[in-house]
Homo-oligomer: A and B are copies of this chain.
Amino acid sequence: MSVSVQREDFDVGLEYARFVAGRTDVGGVALFVGQVRAESGQVAAMTLEHYPGMTERQIDAIAAEARARWALDACRVIHRYGRLVPGDRIVLVMTAASHRQAALESCHFLIDWLKTKAPFWKYEESETGARWVEAKETDDQAAQRWRR
């Protein structure tokens, strides 16, 4: 299990290569890459503020829960902060397991929970001004469906 919270971009191919290097026990690797999306040209840039220390702590806790719920061989999360423009990568979640369902479900779980539990706040700049983005009800719902 490995978590990085960083300003710098990450290389998806390199991260994947390191993740599976020398492993023959892995049957499936699920990856999710979140990117900044230009909504009909509205978002010119966004800045992700985070709470250093708490961010790593919360992501560690979420990753530990994923490992408790699914039989995972490995798990990696990278989350960026700072100013980002459309097309920039924001987050990488990567899970490896013997079976594809475990890899896919845990990856989905991690990204849903990151969205509601990791202390990041999004400040969006657009043509009409800048604002702090409000939390969405739908994200809470997406995370809630993993409750049991």
Contacts and interface: CB of A to CB of B under 8 A. Distances in A.
A71 interface: no
A35 B26 contact: yes
A104 B98 contact: no
Interface stretch (A6-14, A60-68, A118-126, A127-135): A6-14
A142 to B, nearest CB: 7
- Number of this chain's copies in the assembly equals 2
Interface in A2-33: 11-14, 16-17, 20, 22-33
Interface residues of A, number: 35
A111 interface: yes
Interface in A72-97: 86-87
A53 to B, nearest CB: 26
B31 A35 contact: no
A120 B101 CA distance: 20
B31 A31 contact: yes
9 contacts: A11-B13, A13-B13, A13-B14, A24-B36, A28-B35, A29-B32, A30-B30, A30-B31, A31-B32
